Amino acid sequence: MKSSALFPFILLIAAGCTVQAAEVSYQNDPTQPPVSHFRGTCEIDSDGTKFAARACYTTYYPGDQGFGNEYSPPVCMKKPLRKREKEVLAKIYSRAPDYLQAKLCRLTQLFVTQSKWWGPVGWGFWEGPDRPPGTGVYLAIASRELRSKKSIAELENETVNQLLGIRDAGGGRRAPVTRLQGEDADPVLTILSEVAHEMGHVLLADANADGEDAAHPRRRVSGPPRSACFEDAFLGTSWNAEIFHKNMRRWADFGFQNNNVQKNPDSAFNVEGVRAAVRTRNFGVASDAIRNVYRNNEFVSLQAKVAPEEDLAEMYRYKVLVDASPRGPVLRLDGKSIDVQSWLKSDILAKKVQCLRDLGFLTAQP
């Protein structure tokens, strides 16, 4: 994920492993749908200052964490956030749709991270009962993103660069890869979209959205999802479901395809193959992969084509983008405009949006 998420960019779900039952008390193999970790009530916070006041720095990285007695929850550093960072976080919250605000205000903790090595943006993390206390939902955004002035188009181009290993030649010379263009930068909307991507990963894990299969590693501690729509709307339309079910996971690193394969040959994308082409400066392969996204109306971004978990996180990000902006983001590719609002109403993408709704991701309820 674009975490990236990271979670992609890095989005982020905890990696599976086995622990002794005696190490931590929790129900093994629950059969009822999971109870959301997004609990409690939210204070009235029209300008987002209360939300921003809760944020703190951390050097924590969930991907390094174990389970049971080997697990340590994320903690805050003592250094206070900069005033400018708090102001940006407040604007992000006040700009967010009500359903995203309802999740942001119920986070166990919001973090700002200064490290870069785990991915382009930050991370989202669902704690899970086998990581005591097992009730936490956490989200982190990189401090450099809070200082950025990027447009949505610039963010998409930067993500593609990081995903495919594209490096400009320097001296103002850009790699000859097709690029998205857009309107003047709206930094708050851009950063909000990054937060939304990471939240998409947290929501996926919290609802166990991809856990209809009893063999999913998260099913050991989380019951089946309230809706099985992920199997139909995401896997059924766009992915080889058999391969996904053979490689299910609780943690998704940015840019790691995990053997997943797109269902439709016209949408085929192998991230390692395109990276290999880029290394030999065959940039036409990268340009074709980018154009394919906007030609087929099946995925909302190149990052969404990396894996089904990223598909859901990016779908959530674009839904937030449309709902947070009266016109939706204005994008152009090869001189042609992309009507994002209409795009999300097309057949396959509309089905994925409906799945987000069926899973409860678009409601202001906890």
The stretch 24-53 carries a mean pLDDT of 90
pLDDT tier at 173, thresholds 50, 70, 90: confident
Residue 340 pLDDT grade (very low, low, confident, very high; cuts 50, 70, 90): very high
Whole-number pLDDT of residue 170:
60
Question: What pLDDT score was predicted for residue 327?
Answer: 78
Q: What is the mean pLDDT of residues 193-201?
A: 97
Q: Determine the distance from the C-alpha atom of residue 241 to the mean position of all C-alpha atoms in its chain, rounded to a whole number.
A: 20
Q: How confident is the model at residue 168 (pLDDT cuts 50, 70, 90)?
A: confident
pLDDT on residue 90: 98
pLDDT higher than threshold 50 for residue 4: no
Per residue in 243-272, pLDDT (tens digit) is: 999 999 998 889 999 999 999 999 999 999
Q: What does each C-alpha distance from 292 to 164, 241, 264, 344 come to in angstroms?
A: 15, 21, 12, 16
Rounded to the nearest 5°, which phi and psi values hold at 181?
Answer: -120, 160
pLDDT of residue 21: 36
Given pLDDT bands bounded at 50, 70 and 90, which one contains residue 120?
low
Confidence of residue 111 (pLDDT cuts 50, 70, 90): very high
Percent of the chain at pLDDT > 90 equals 80
More confidently predicted of 65 and 96: 96
**C-beta of residue 200 within 8 angstroms of C-beta of residue 313:** yes
Q: What is the pLDDT of residue 116?
A: 59
6: pLDDT confidence band, cut at 50, 70 and 90?
very low
Average pLDDT over residues 53-67: 92
pLDDT at 23 over 80: no
pLDDT of residue 248: 97
> What whole-number distance in Å separates Cα of residue 309 and Cα of residue 336?
29
The pLDDT of residue 26 is: 73
- Residue 349: CB atoms within 10 A of its CB come to 23
Count Cα neighbours of 219 within 13 Å in the Cβ-side half-sphere. Answer: 13
Residue 104 has pLDDT above 90, yes or no: yes
Confidence of residue 355 (pLDDT cuts 50, 70, 90): very high
pLDDT number for residue 172: 60
Does pTM top 0.75 for this prediction? Answer: yes
- Between residues 271 and 171, the one the model is more confident about: 271
For 136-173, letters b (16+ CB in 10 Å) and e give bbbbbbbbebbebebbbbbbbbbbbbbbbebeeeeeee
pLDDT in tens, 121-141: 899 999 999 999 999 999 999
Residue 174 pLDDT level (bands cut at 50, 70, 90): confident
Distance of alpha carbon 48 from alpha carbon 55, whole angstroms: 12
What pLDDT score was predicted for residue 11? Answer: 35
Distance, CA of 156 to CA of 159 (rounded, Å): 5
Chain-centre distance for alpha carbon 321: 13
Q: Is the pLDDT of residue 3 over 90?
A: no
Dihedral pair phi/psi, residue 140, rounded to 5°? -130, 145
Q: How far is CA 204 from CA 167, 192, 197, 230, in A?
A: 32, 18, 11, 10
Tokens of 143: 């401090």
Res 234 pLDDT > 80: yes
pLDDT of residue 28: 85
Span 88-104, average pLDDT = 98
Question: What's the mean pLDDT when you consider all of the chain?
Answer: 90
- On whether the CB atoms of residues 271 and 257 are closer than 8 A, the answer is yes
Q: What is the average per-residue pLDDT within 175-195?
A: 93
